[in-house]
Every structure is written in structure tokens, then in C-alpha cells.
Amino acid sequence: MSGEGRERRTPRPQGRRPSGQSSREGRGSVRRGPVRAVQPARRVAYDVLRAVSETDAYANLVLPTAIADAGLTPQDAALATELTYGTLRRLGTYDAIIASAADRPTDGIDPAVLDALRLAVHQLLATRVASHAAVNESVNLVATTSGRGASSFANAVLRRITRDSGEVWQARIEEQARSDDERLALRTAHPVWVIRALRRALAAEGRGDELEALLESDNISPEVTLVALPGLAEPAEPRLPYAPTAFASPGGDPRRSVEASGGTVRVQDEGSQLVALALAGAAPIVSGERWLDLCAGPGGKTALLAAIALEHDATLEANEVVPVRARLVRKALRAVPADIVVHEQDGRALAASRPGEFDRILVDAPCTGLGALRRRPEARWRKSPADVAELVPLQVELLSAAVDALAPGGVVAYVTCSPHLAETSGVVQEVLRARTDIVELDARAAIADVSMSPIDLAVEGRSSSGSAQLWPHRHGTDAMFLALLQRPSTENTSSGKED
């Protein structure tokens, strides 16, 4: 079940032509006459930005294909990656600078021109690309996509930006902020509502003073982390500190490692590995157990659980309501030599049709994804508080349905890649309040048990909860949340675990 929301864009004012589009050349027209070719890495980055803006695409899915299709060298691929992700991370800040330099709001600028300006501003203010190269290439890019009038407009805006340093522009836009939170939003390139949600989540752990460290970590390119499926592959060096299945990419294109292993090595964040391992380790595994990954797409955690299940003679089923994502799950499972059924149903309906059948269930619920902004930076600009309000009832229903599908002694792991309190502890507490047939286990202890080294998981502020929250700035992982709920067995109503 996909949790990706639609991007909310400000409607363009009617009755006037957006700036950057000439009266004689409509949007998308091409300038007549010779135009200098745009450097391939910049063209790829621009095309990905356009896909993100126009079709709500995610850069981490579109960029690898674009790089391969363009046949970029490793050096150009690295440049395209930096330009794409760097631009997307600081989009809000760059838009404020463009609006100031153009003396008009960005919703009055043609979207195709605006994306070229964003790409140029990132080069001018956050890279070592020569100013003349960034301006000339970007103007040529606009000329090839939007015409002469648009390229003249882009040239004027970019020349204005080059007159001052990045520090001067940053100070200029911060002076226009109406509150401290708006100022912080412009400085760290996060929407105000996201900043406030993250502040509340940290404060719940008594760590409110770590907010700026967290925001800064969202703007740092994460290292590529790999998983070695247990029993099918061995992790290489360098190892990572926590998950015994995790290791760092040796560099270069990680797809080479994945392909060479036949899929038994995969790209996966260490936090995602930890929550799956914690579910597997929450109670001793008995041969013949039945497991379910209820919201499996795109299949990374599914593959890890499948490998563990295979080692312990357990049976795993998976479910993903979105057909495209279900295909990704099946692809992820090819490396595991087991017959794994992948359903394509609404998770709530599937769980309701299988009462009391499963010993372990993973509910990796659709969420806002605020915990993975390092990897999917565009999510911060396309999500809104309305998405949280829409997702929470679904999250509650999925978790409650999963509990109904648990066998006595069974455990369900509720997981989100978001630290937003409404999507995490709020959902768990709502389900716990409505039921008397489940208990909450200590997820912090479960993660600590599978971790290879001590891991600092906050207890303060969570005295009534056993949930665990990982953080990018503290653990180097995505901000994964984990809660473990158990339906007690008749033999042991306290925890269901054997002595």
C-alpha cells in the first residue's frame, strides 16, 4: 500500500502569462537557430527535476534510469546526482532567492523555467561550479526548452543573483521572515510545519535541543548502505555499527554489487534492517510459524524477513495493494529460494479475512516519509499537514486489522519512516486504548538485542510506551519508528515469550 501523496501546488494566477514565457513563444517551444548543447549531467539533472515537478516522480526512482539512458560516465553521473539531490533539498530556500531576484513570486514563473533557475542557483551558491558556466549552461537550457524570451528572463535573474554571495542572499531572505520558525525554515530548507513536527517529536524524548542537528542531517547526502540477506550472503567490509546484516557500499554504482550477488545483497537503510530484525527477534522462532508483510512495497524488508523465515522453516506471505509496487516486491523476492505468495489486496481486507492466522506481522504503514528526507528530499515540499490527517485513520485501521490476524502469542511490528507523533505513538496509543487483547512489548530492548553494539534509544518521555525511534543525526539511519504489539498466549499473558 503506497503512502506517497500528491504534491500541492499553488494555482497559477489566471489572465496573465507566467514570467519567463514570451508572448510569441508558448511554453515548451524551442528557440529557432543554433543553440549550444547542454552538458549531459546538467541535462539529466534538469530532466529529473521536471519529472519531479510535473508527474510527482521520486528522484531516487527516476535518476538511475536517466543516468543509464544518457550513458553518463561515472564522473558525470556523480555530478548529475549532486545537482539533482542538492537542488531538491534546498528548493524552498532557492525559491525564496529566485523570487527576491526576479521581484515576483515563483508561481508567476513558468515551471520549466523555474526548474532551470533552481538548478542554476544550486550551482551558483552551493557548489564550486564556475559562475559563468552555471549561468551560460542554464540560459542555454532554458533556450532549448522555452524559447528566446524565457532565456532572456533567466539570464537577467541569474546575473542579478551572481552579484552577491550566498551569505548575502541568505541574510536577505531571512530578513523577510515573519517568525523565528520561518527564519529557521529558510536557513535549513524545511517547511515550517515539518520543523514544528520534528521539534515535538524530539521534545517527547527530552531532546528538543537536537532540532538543528536533525535538520542539518536531512541536508547531507547519506552513505549508501547494503544488506546481506541472512543465510544467502555475507556482509562485507566496512560493517555498520548496529544491524548484523548491514555494511557500507564500497563505492561506485551499488547496482553492480546487487547484480553480482543475484539480489542476495541489496541497497537498504540500516534502520529498515533493524526494525525487520527486531520483529524476527521479538520472540523465539518456532518451526512452522506463519509470517505476513502486510504493506510490503517495494519489498526490501520483505526480502530480509523472507531470508530469515527460510532459515527458521517459517512461511512468509506478502501483500501490496498497488500493482506496480507488488511487482517490485516479487522482484525483490527472486533472490530468496522460497515459494512466497504476494497478494494484491487492501491490507485491511486481507487481514480481516485471515483472523488469528499469523505469528508475526509487519505493518510498514504508508506514511509521510518525513524520516527519509535525506534520501527523498522532494517529500518535504510535496507533503502537508493534510496528508497526516488523511494517513492516520488508515494507519490505525491497518494496525488494528493486523492485530486481529495475530495468532495467540503472535507479534505485530508497527513501523513508519516518520517520527511525526501523530503517525507513530499516537497511532499505537489509539489502538491500545481500543483493545484489551494486546500488550505492548519493549521495542527498544528488541532493537538492542539484535544490535551489534550499544544503541542510544531515548526512554525519557516514553515511560508509558515501549516504542523506539531512530534518528539520522544520532544513529546515521532514517528516522524509523518501531512499536511491537503482542496478543498474549494462554500460557503466558504477560509477554508471550519463553523463558
- Tell me the H-state helices in 59-110: 59-70, 74-89, 91-102
Distance of CA 41 to the CA centre of its chain: 24
Nearest Cα to Cα of residue 125 among 153, 86, 156, 154:
86
Distance, in Å, from the CA atom of 81 to the CA atom of 103, rounded to the nearest integer, reads 30
Contact 182, 93 (CB under 8 A): no
In one-letter notation, the amino acid at residue 450 is V
Q: What is the DSSP string of 198-255?
A: HHHHHHTTT-GGGHHHHHHHTTSPPPPEEEE-TTT----SSBPSS-TTEEE--SS-HH
Nearest Cα to Cα of residue 142 among 153, 127, 130:
153
Residue 130 contacts by C-beta under 8 Å, 6 or more apart in sequence?
A: none
367 is catalytic: no
Q: Which of 48, 417, 447, 485 is catalytic?
A: 417
In one-letter notation, the amino acid at residue 219 is N
Residue 251 contacts by C-beta under 8 Å, 6 or more apart in sequence?
A: none
Distance, in Å, from the CA atom of 306 to the CA atom of 315, rounded to the nearest integer, reads 8
Distance, in Å, from the CA atom of 89 to the CA atom of 125, rounded to the nearest integer, reads 13
Nearest Cα to Cα of residue 67 among 82, 55, 88:
82
Query: What backbone torsions phi and psi does residue 27 show, to the nearest 5 degrees?
Result: -60, 130
Contact 428, 399 (CB under 8 A): yes
User: What cell was used for 156?
Assistant: 537577467
Catalytically active residues, by annotation: 417
